[in-house]
Amino acid sequence: MEEMKENELIEVKEKIALVKNEISRFIVGQEDVVDQLLWGIFAQGHVLLEGLPGLGKTMLVRKISEVMDMTFSRVQFTPDLMPSDITGTNMIQPNENGGQSFVFHPGPLFSNIVLADEINRATPKTQSALLEAMGEHTVTVMGEMHQLPRPFFVLATQNPIELEGTYPLPEAQMDRFVMKINVSYPTRDELKEIANRTTGARLPQLEQIVNDAYVVHVQTLAKQLLIADNVLDYAVNLTMATHPADERATEKVREYVDYGSGPRGMQSLISIAKVRALFDGRYNVSINDIKKVAHSVLRHRLFLNFEGEASQVDKDALITELLEAVESD
């Protein structure tokens, strides 16, 4: 049994390396973004990517779906998008008896990977229509519940909220994303390589490395990884320290944060850290795993007060201070 587990660890590590290598044949740079996206997918979570338009967020998600051989749909969120446009609707169709009946026509949510492109350009009403799908993996249309496929992920892109025509996502929906990944601007060399790859006559065709069944298999393996009490204590303490009333909170958290992460943030810390350890070929989670995933897991779960917003406090800097200050019990 131990030997089989060791073989499984080696296989997962090698497969993920192949997946990342295949993605890098098309996507230039953004290695950290790719790593974090894969952590979220194999932790059975939804991921939010934020960055300026034109940084390749949409293309990255599309290429990941190709390499992982999963069904893919893209929804361009706009202010006039209605909830039924994404969930599907019942339509009247003739039946074999010569009469008519309602038949459910699935919307784009019925895919393994749903790219919610520019999610914060839609109205809050449509954004909230995703909540049931993201939380329960079901949609309800006219009182009838429909099960979504497995695996199911919402990989959403978001423009910075300072841009015109954007709406801030509701706090409950933000909390449904296990991670928020910041997509940075490419370097000079990366820009040059992007031009070479994308303006030529031929674009690289990516191979399918894994499929949906393998994704579910790795998700199951990740849950079996061990986490020691001191590592679990660290994750709990770090989560509690994001609240200004907690004794572990830093001075800046007390000054600028209105409220911090809830239990789902702590669960996300552990789930993502387990996947990171699995990708590294380890049976157990370390405190360093928790620290490495903390920024992307917690940055959208820190809600600043008026003074923090007015001062444009950097949430990542607050998290960095917490990582230095918080210890396990």
In a domain? residue 202: no
Residues 146 and 70 in one domain: yes
Q: What is the mean pLDDT of residues 77-105?
A: 77
Residues 289 and 187 in one domain: no
Measured distance CA(268)–CA(7) in Å, rounded: 27
CA angle 326, 262, 298 (to 5 degrees): 60
Give the pLDDT confidence of 273-314 residue by residue, as tens digits: 999 999 888 888 999 999 999 999 999 999 888 988 888 888
Confidence (pLDDT) at 201? 63
Measured distance CA(282)–CA(295) in Å, rounded: 22
Residues 131 and 240 in one domain: no
More confident residue, 298 or 30: 298
Give the pLDDT confidence of 150-184 residue by residue, as tens digits: 888 888 887 765 555 566 777 777 888 999 998 87
Average pLDDT value for the chain = 83
Residues 50 and 139 in one domain: yes
CATH of the domain at 135: 3.40.50.300
Give the pLDDT confidence of 133-143 residue by residue, as tens digits: 888 888 877 77
More confident residue, 95 or 33: 33
* Domain limits for position 260: 225-329
* Residue 174, token pair as written in the block: 């933000």
CATH of the domain at 283: 1.10.8.80
In a domain? residue 204: no
Q: Assign 282 to helix, strand or coil.
A: coil
Give the pLDDT confidence of 228-245 residue by residue, as tens digits: 999 999 999 999 999 999
Confidence band, pLDDT 50/70/90 cuts, at residue 53: confident
- Among residues 279, 222, 210, the alpha carbon closest in space to that of 13 is found at 279
Residues 57 and 40 in one domain: yes
The total of structural domains in the chain comes to: 2
Confidence (pLDDT) at 106? 81
Q: What is the mean pLDDT of residues 75-99?
A: 79
